[in-house]
Amino acid sequence: MSPQAKNYTAHVLVSLILLSMLVIILFLTKGFIQDFFVNPPSYFIENSSIEEVYSKFIFIFIIIVIVLITFIFYLLLTFNSRYELNVWNEIKSLAVSKQQFKMLYDSAPIPYLILDKDGNINNPNKAALRFFGAYPEEIEGKNFFSYIAGEYADKAESFFQNYKSRLDINRKEVQMISKNGNIKSVMISIFDLHGPGSIEAQGLAIIIDITEQKIIEKAKTEFLSLASHQLKTPLATTRWYSEMLMTEGTGQLTNEQKEYIKVLHIANQNMIELVDVLLNISRIEMGSMSADSVVTNVKELSDSVVNELALQISNKKLNIKLEYNNLFENVKSDPKLLRIIIQNLVSNSVKYTPEGGIISITFKEDSKERMIIVADNGVGIPKDQQEHIFSKMFRADNVKSLSNSQGTGLGLYLVKSIAVSLGGDIHFSSEENKGSVFTITF
Amino acid sequence: MESTNNKIKILVVDDDSNLNNVLVDKLNISGFEAEGVLDGEIGLKRALEFHPDVILLDLVMPKIDGFEVLKRLREDSWGKGAKVIMLTLIDRMDSIAQAVDKNVAGYLVKTNFSLDEIVEEVKKIIKFPKS
């Protein structure tokens, strides 16, 4: 008998008892009730003897006692079945949520697998079967880590050891092989289902297929590499051939011809610079230039930038102050990106500071952040245009009119993008004809 | 090329004939004995034949690329100590790291160096003992 049926039986039984008691009581008290309605209580008490009143009260008392006993009887009778009913309801809702969980697990679009203590596959969901391109019996019982393949095959063992020591594996990038031999790029996570206190491990493995993303990423990088190579080949050719023409020993040129070739050479150099900046911007925007943190000597980077600009600096008789304060000789950062930042800021200062000006590169550090400060006493940025200086292709009016400056309007946009991608930022203060101070934090 | 004079011998391996030509001319004008080849396979063969003092090696080439040339060169008993300067248009960090791993004497990005600067680099490297 189900707990519900038991409960109903108890209800019916008790209701019957109460009903029959009611009938008996009504029958026994027929005269009393008639009396009671015909004669109101005041009259009824005044006109009855003490004995009669007592006997009537005792009668009412007995009825109350009987009702109470019946109720207790009911509670006792249904105690067990009510308890069972609760349990039964609990079990039923548990079964519903288990079923919901199973549906969620089975039809989730993400491959899930349960692993036993040795990392063998139990109960792969549909997405996992699709991922491996296999029937359940083909992968059940096989070791999960044996499917780690490709470039990551040698890491399988260390992941397995990790799992055996019951350490969670969280979003680790590996490659896995499916039944038909396809290598797929994935992120795997494996969590211990029972927590570290339990005796035997059981893992929930989650696979996120990132093969598509990887292909797109690779295509982007390849496109940029190709574009870069194809764009730069003619630029290198023009650079070297114009240089050869200007070299003594390849025949005499007239002064006029020398001038023409010089212009050609400078225009080509500007083009090289522009292509470099454009490619770097594309790499950042397409996300194919990601910051690689390695031990970096920022002092050396800064020195190499200054050396590269030495000719322009000496031509303009600029005074360079380097205040490195013995800082940043080995910091974790991306040297290539950091160099692009320093290169752009310093070359801006060189471009936009008149002859005899002062440029300083200062390293500073406080408890929160590292700072590279590039300051000059050059032409500055007009107040009303300062808010635009990090936008793409923007050049302030006062530098557009400088005859000797060939800016692309992309430098500061690039610097800002890189600074942000390095987890830092850029700030500046500037006053027209007084100079600018750019501060990179990283 | 196998002449017995004591000029410093340089092999330029670059599939771009324009760049290759001007580089060979420049090196010859600068007092070196330079030979240019347009393909990695021939470059490797020539390197092992006449043991140049410095190899200027491009990266992106058809058939076998610069890294493959370098790899095969390093398998040779002479080649493993040969002085190689990578001269390429690729300026990606991973490519530079890969070259450094293979013990190259220099990594120059073509658009960032003038011919004069390249000659200077070659001279600098010749002064150092073999890596």
pLDDT in tens, A47-97: 667 777 777 778 778 878 888 887 887 788 777 777 888 888 999 999 999
| Residue A129 distance to chain B (closest CA, Å) | 36
Least confident of A347-356, B86-95, B117-126: B86-95
- Owning domain of residue B47: 9-127
Percent of chain A with pLDDT over 70: 92
Q: Do B116 and A243 touch (CB under 8 A)?
A: yes
Cβ burial B53-92 (10 Å sphere, 16+ → b, else e): bbbbbbbbbeebbbbebbebbeeeeebeebbbbbbbbbbb
C-beta of residue A435 within 8 angstroms of C-beta of residue A380 = yes
Question: Is the Cβ of A56 closer than 8 Å to some Cβ of chain B?
Answer: no
- Mean pLDDT in residue range A232-256: 88
Domain-embedded: residue B81:
yes
- Residue A132 CA to residue A209 CA, distance in Å, equals 11
In a domain, B79, yes or no: yes
What does the pLDDT read at residue A137?
A: 92
Query: B16-72 pLDDT, tens per residue?
Result: 999 999 999 999 999 999 999 999 999 999 999 999 999 999 998 988 999 999 999
Q: What is the CATH number of the domain that holds B53?
A: 3.40.50.2300
ipTM for the complex shown: 0.89
**Residue A105: predicted pLDDT:** 93
Does residue B123 fall inside a structural domain?
A: yes
Q: What is the pLDDT of residues A149-183, one digit of tens each?
A: 878 888 888 899 888 888 888 999 999 999 889 89
pLDDT at B130: 45
Residue B4 lies in a domain: no
- Which whole number is the average pLDDT over A269-292? 77
Residue-level pLDDT at B115: 93
Tell whether B3 is covered by a domain. no
Which one of A221, A240, A418 makes the best mutation probe of the B interface by having the most chain B beta carbons within 10 Å? A240
Contact flag B29-A249 (C-beta cutoff 8 Å) = yes
Q: How far apart are CA A393 and CA A73, in angstroms?
A: 90
Q: How far is A306 from chain B (nearest CA, A)?
A: 15
Nearest Cα neighbor of A430 from A371, A388, A370 is A388
- For residue B46, give how far its alpha carbon lies from the nearest alpha carbon of chain A (Å): 25
Tokens of A258: 């020398």
Contacts of A350 (CB under 8 A, 6+ apart): A309, A312, A313, A316, A318, A359
Query: Does a structural domain hold residue B1?
Result: no
CB contact under 8 Å between B22 and A236, yes or no, is no
Q: How confident is the model at residue B6 (pLDDT cuts 50, 70, 90)?
A: confident
Confidence at residue A46, expressed as pLDDT on a 0 to 100 scale: 61
| Lateral strand order in the sheet of A121-122 | A121-122, A112-115, A203-209, A183-192, A169-177
Number of domains in chain B: 1
Chain B nearest-CA distance from A247, in A, is 9
Assigned token pair, B82: 């040969």
Residue B2 lies in a domain: no
pLDDT band at A403 (very low <50, low <70, confident <90, very high): low
* A329-348 residues touching B, CB cutoff 8 A: 334, 336
Nearest to B18 among A225, A232, A237 (CB): A237
User: Which of A232, A265, A292 to probe by mutation at the B interface, max B CB count within 10 Å?
Assistant: A232
Q: How does pLDDT run across A94-112, given as a tens digit for each residue? A: 999 999 999 999 999 999 9
Please provide the average confidence, as pLDDT, over all residues in chain A: 85
